[in-house]
Amino acid sequence: MDTATLAQLDENHIIPTYGRFLPCLIEGKGCYVNDSDGRRYLDFGAGIGVNSLGYCDDEWQAAICKQAGRLQHASNLYGSEPGFLLAQALCQRTGAHKVFFANSGTEANEGAIKAARHYGLQKHGTGHDAIISLQNSFHGRSYGALSATGQTALQNNFGPMLPNFRYVPQGDLQALEQEFAKGDVCAFFLEFIQGEGGVLPLTPQYLQGVTSLCEKHDILLVADEIQTGLGRTGTLLASEHFGISPDITTLAKGLGAGLPIGAILFNEKSSIALGKGDHGTTFGMNPVACAGANVVLKRLDEAFLQDVQKKGIWLENALHKLPNVLDVKGKGLMWGFGLTEPHSAAKLRESCQERGLLVLLAKDRVRLLPPLIISDSELAEGVSIIKEAIVSFG
Ligand SMILES: *Cc1c(COP(=O)(O)O)cnc(C)c1O
C-alpha cells in the first residue's frame, strides 16, 4: 500500500493520540527497516527498545511460528510449557523467587502496585498504602501506572489520579526519608535510568541510600526495568550494575523482542503479596509470546551481554566526539544526549530520518536504543549519519 493511502487510513480511522512520523514502516530484517516509500533505514530506536534482536530474527521467528502452529493460547486456568520454562529461566537468571506474566509494561506496573499495597496491608495493617516514585519518572498510562508517573503534564486532564501517590526529586535522599518517615508508605518505584524522562541515570550513591532506607522502613523497592532490562544496559538487569536486588522488578519492552509481554519478578519477601484470586489477565503467559521470550533469554548469554557493554563503551566515546552534543548519558545500548542551542533534538531526529537513520526522542533529548544485535559497523554507520546531520545544521 502506498504512503498516501496509509496516511489517509490513519487519519480517517485511528484516534490521533500519536503524532506519527510517516511514512509507515513495512518490513525489516536485522537492524534495517523499509518504509512504504521503499526507503531503507538503519534503526537506532528498535520500536522503543522492543526489537531487542532486531527485525524478524530467524531463531525468534522460527520459535514463535512453531508455537503458533502448536498452541496459540491456553488460559491461565491451564498454563503452558513455554510460560513455565520462561518463568524458570527468569528466576534462574535474575535470582527472582516467582514471576507473574502480564501483556505490557503498564500492566506489569499495575500488578506491582497492587502487590505493594497488599504487602503493606499484610505486613503493617491498614494505612500503609502510599506509593512514592520519582519526579520525571514514567511508569505507564493506565490509572495506577499513571498515578505513579511523576509528570503532571501527562496526568492533567485525566484526574483524579489514584490517592496516596507522592513524588520525590531524583538524588534527594532527605526528601525520600521524609516521605518514609510519615509511616504510611508501602513501596518506592524507580527506574535506574529514566528512559522517557530523557535517559537520566541514578547515581550509585543515591541507590545505596535508597536500599538502606527501604530496608530500614520495610518498604518494597520496586525497579521498573521495562526499558533498562533484558540486556539493554549490558547486564541482564540494570540492577546488576549497582549490586542491588529490588523486591519487585517489572519487565516488558525487550522481553518479547516484538510480541506483547510483560513480567513482574518477585523476591521471596514480596512474593507473599499475590495469592490465589488476587490478580489475573486473560492473555498473560501467552505461549507464543513466551516462546519468543525464551529465545531472547537464551541469546542474552554472558558473551552477548559483554558484547553489548563493549559496543556501549564505543558508542559513548563516539557520541562524546560529536560536535554540538551535550550531556551524553546512559549505559550499554541506551543513550541520550542534548544539543547546544539553537539546535533541537526534534530537528536532529527529522534530519537523521531523511538521511536513513531512525532515532528516538526523550523530552528534549535524542535517545538511542539500537537493537542489541547491532554490529560494530552498523553502529559506526549510525553515528556517522548523526554527525552528518549535526554538521548540516551549520
Ligand atoms: C515503556 C515503559 C513503560 C510502559 O510500558 P508499556 O508496554 O508501554 O505499557 C513503563 N515504564 C517504563 C520505564 C517504560 O519505559
Q: How far apart are CA 254 and CA 300, in angstroms?
A: 11
Q: Return the amino acid letter for 257.
A: A
285 three-class SS: coil
Residue with cell 522488578: 249
Nine cell digits for residue 339:
544539543
Supply the angle between the helices 345-354 and 376-392 in degrees, to the nearest 10.
120
Are 37 and 21 contacting, i.e. CB atoms less than 8 angstroms apart? Answer: no
Q: Is 138 considered catalytic here? A: yes
Q: Any bridge partners for residue 42, and if so which?
A: 32, 357
> Any long-range contacts for 168-175 (C-beta under 8 Å, 24+ apart)?
168/132, 168/133, 168/134, 168/135, 169/134, 169/135, 170/134, 170/135, 170/136, 170/194, 170/200, 170/202, 170/206, 171/202, 171/203, 171/206, 173/206, 173/209, 173/210, 173/213
Nearest to 153 by CA among 171, 169, 141: 141
Q: In order along the chain (394 residues), what is the average pLDDT of each group of 10 residues?
A: 94 95 94 97 98 98 98 96 98 98 98 98 97 98 98 97 98 98 98 98 98 98 98 98 98 98 98 97 98 98 98 98 98 98 96 98 98 98 98 91
Residue with cell 550499554: 332
Residues with CB under 6 A from ligand 1: 104-106, 109, 138-140, 191, 195-196, 224, 226-227, 252-253
Nearest to 289 by CA among 252, 260, 250: 260
Are 250 and 270 contacting, i.e. CB atoms less than 8 angstroms apart? Answer: no
pTM of the predicted model over 0.95: yes
Most ligand 1 atoms within 8 A of CB, residue of 196, 199, 237, 255 to mutate: 196
Are 337 and 328 contacting, i.e. CB atoms less than 8 angstroms apart? Answer: yes
Q: Is 224 considered catalytic here? A: yes
Q: How far apart are CA 265 and CA 250, in angstroms?
A: 6
Most ligand 1 atoms within 8 A of CB, residue of 199, 227, 239, 255 to mutate: 227
- The predicted pLDDT at position 215 comes to 98
- The predicted pLDDT at position 22 comes to 83
Q: Is 10 considered catalytic here? A: no
- The predicted pLDDT at position 394 comes to 80
